[in-house]
Every structure is written in C-alpha cells, then in structure tokens.
Amino acid sequence: MEELTIIAPKYFEVVNSINTVWVALCAALIFFMEAGFAILEAGFVRSKNAMSIIAKVIIDIIFGGIAFFIFGFGIAYGSSNGWISFDLGITDADLGLGLTISNQLFWFIQLGFAIACISIVSGALAERMKLWSYALLVIIFCSIMYPIVANWVWNPNGWLALRGFNDFAGSAAVHTMGGIAALAAAIVLGPRLGKYNKNGSTNIIPGHNLPLAATGGFILWFGWFGFNPGSTLAAVGNWELIGVVVVNTFLASAGGGISAMIYTYFSYGKIDITMVINGILAGLVAITAGCNVVDPLSAIVIGIFAGVLVDLGVIYIDKLKIDDPVGAIAVHGINGIFGTIAVGLFASNEGLFFGGGVSLLVTQCIGVLTIAIFSFVVTFIIMKLLKNTIGVRVSREDEIAGIDSASFGVKSYSTYE
C-alpha cells in the first residue's frame, strides 16, 4: 500500500505531463493556422489590398485574444445554465470536462478555435471594410457571440451537449458559425466596386498571387492535424482515437480535392486550382464534426460531397450578388452545415445509414440550424448598428486606390531602383 501511494502521484504527474505536451503542440499548430488564413486570403485578393488582409488577421489575434481572455472563455466554459455562463477570465475551478491539462492551457487551445472562427469572416469582407469597424466586430464576436455557441456545444452543461450533439472539433461551432456570420456581414457590407454590373452580369476579380494562396491552403491543411486530433485534449488513453481522427481528416480532405478537380474539369474544360484548394478545405471543414465517429470510407464520401458543394456554393452565392472574395461562405458555412448533418447519416454506431435511426440526425439538424440562425441574425444586427453609427465601409476613393495605401501608406510589393 505504501508503494502504491508513492507510485500514484508519479503516474498522474507523467500522464498530465504527456497530455500537456500533446495539447500544447496541437494548440501551437492551431495558432499557426492564422498564418494560413492570412496568406490564403491575401493571395485571393488584389495586391493593393493584400496588407489589409494581413492586418485583419492580426486584429483577429490581438483584439480577439484579449476579448476571449477577459470575457469569452468564462462565458463558454464557466458554470452554465445550458445557454450561457456569466463567469469571467480563466478560473481554477473544475470545468467538468475531465481535463488532465491546466485550465490555462485549455484556454490557449480554445483561443485558437475562437480566432479561427472570426478569421473565416475576415476573408468575406476583404477589400472594402474599415479596419477599426472590423476590430469592434472582432471584439464582440470573440467576447460574446462565439463563446455562447461554444457553451451550447462543448460546455458539459450546454443544451446541445446534453442532447448528444456531436461536433467533435467544430464544423458547427467554428465553421458554420464563422461562415454564416461571413454571409450576414457580406450582405450588409455590399459587393466590391465593379464586381456586379447593372445588367446583372458578374465581373471576375482575380486574386493577385495564387501560389501565395496555395501556400496558405497548405498551412491550413497542416494546422488541421492539430485542430482535429488536438480536440481529444489528451494523448494518454486516446492513442487509437487520435489515429482515427488523423486518418479521417486526411481522407476527407483528399476526397474534397479530387472531387473539386474532377468537377471543375468537366464543368469548365480546365481544372480550376483555386477551387481545388477550396475543395480540400471544404473536405476538412465537413469532416471536423464527425472525424471521431465515422469510418474511413465514410470520410472519403463526405469529402467528395464537400468538394462539389463548395463549387456549387461559390457559383450560387455569386448569383445572389453576395461578394465573397475568398469563398469563405461556401467553404465554411455551407460545408460546416453539411458536415454537421453528415454525422447523423454516417456515424458508425448512431448514423441513419448504419442502422442508428433518425435520433442523432434530428439532433444534428436542430443544433446546426440553431447555430446558423443565431450567427446570421446577431451578425446582421451588429453590422447594421456599425454601419449606421461609425460606418463599415471605406470611402470610394480609398477602395479604388486600395486599402493598403489609404490605411498604411505602403504597398505590399515595392520595387527599389
């Protein structure tokens, strides 16, 4: 007995240490995804606005990070009434999640999810939104809006968590939330000058640097192997689950890339590499909810559907005269919804296609539609309030000249003689 009392504390110290290293590494990968967002979006816009995109992602991190520290984390993971918590800051109390890492490290990995969610929005608002107005949107989003949804989904007392809603790493809480917020914000903000003609036709405004955008896509792809596996929140005891999540994450992304490549080739006669990039990302978004509960073949199928959905989504959104320069609404909003619902269809034990009935499918639909409606309505109201007070859009002159020179007095690319 005396030996056991000596060994037990050492055992738990080793377990906690291993899990701390695992989660810290995954959190760093998730944080690095912001570099992916920055250069993907910068490559997809014109060179005269590339620096403004970098600035918006920096704003996501610094303003969103402080907001999530002071208000957001407590609202998401404090003592919940099922819908919201009124705690502030990082508490040392037991969060009810069975963590074997510190609450401080848990805050940091959750910060990555919060700023990823708002970074989705930044791309849809590219080339025309005021930076300080955007900073206010980021503060509200990361301190209140996203944390409320995280409370529903991941707080052990959240109403969706209690219903058995399965959103392992955030197809709904992060991607649907961010993608639908991007939709509402883009509607209020309006399209870029020259995007749509009075006769109803659309002008293509190509990105200035597709290799840069592709590099951003690769960084996001790489970071996703922290995003999804890191949601296990522990390595010890989860070695098999981590393997399942990693394999499903990759297979869905590959399926999305393949289907986007084939679809664009047969639709346009040539492969659209920008849509292939978005197809890979769409596959990643779609599998994020169910990567823990589907089998590998299902992951491929989910990715294949996602790769086609993102193509169709981009075209349809453009037909509605909603200007989204980077395809954020289609990649994250449409495929976030699809991926969340797909759990109810493809989950190995409870999915409809595997004999599980409709119970999980109904829960998944209720959850993701509630999140989508909440995100759209609240974002629309906030953007309208900003528009009618401090304004949300740069002047016509600044938009024509480019936000970079107007706001920073520099160009992204300079030549020296």
**pLDDT by position in tens, the chain (length 417):** 454 455 566 777 888 899 999 999 999 999 999 999 999 999 999 999 999 999 999 999 999 999 999 999 999 999 889 999 998 889 888 899 999 999 999 999 999 999 999 999 999 999 999 999 999 999 999 999 999 999 999 999 999 999 999 999 999 999 999 999 999 999 999 999 989 988 888 888 989 999 999 999 999 999 999 999 999 999 998 999 999 999 999 999 999 999 999 999 999 999 999 999 999 999 999 999 999 999 999 999 999 999 999 999 999 999 999 999 999 999 999 999 999 999 999 999 999 999 888 999 999 999 999 999 999 999 999 999 999 999 999 999 998 988 988 888 888 887 654
Side chain identity, residue 80: S
Cα–Cα distance between 377 and 184 in angstroms, integer? 8
Q: Collect all residues with Cβ–Cβ distance below 8 Å to 117 and sequence separation of at least 6.
A: 141, 146, 170, 173, 174, 175, 177, 178, 181
Which one-letter DSSP state was computed for residue 354?
Answer: G
The string over 280-317, giving b where at least 16 C-beta atoms fall within 10 Å of a residue's C-beta and e elsewhere, is bbbbbbbbbbbbbbbbeebbbbbbbbbbbbbbebbeeb
Please check whether the domain covering 2-193+209-408 is classified as CATH 3.40.50.300.
no
Rounded distance, CA 108 to CA 114, Å? 10
Statement: the pTM of the whole predicted model exceeds 0.75: yes
Residue with tokens 């007995």: 1
Q: Is 117 exposed, middle or buried (0-12, 13-18, 19+ CB in 10 A)?
A: buried
* Strand, coil or helix: 186: helix
Among 115, 117, 221, residue whose Cα is nearest residue 167: 117
Nearest to 126 by CA among 325, 275, 313, 274: 325
Domain boundaries, the chain: 2-193+209-408
Nearest 5°: CA angle at 120, between 115 and 124? 140
> What CA–CA distances, in Å, run from 319 to 313, 316, 324?
10, 5, 11
Please give the DSSP secondary-structure letter assigned to residue 191.
Answer: P
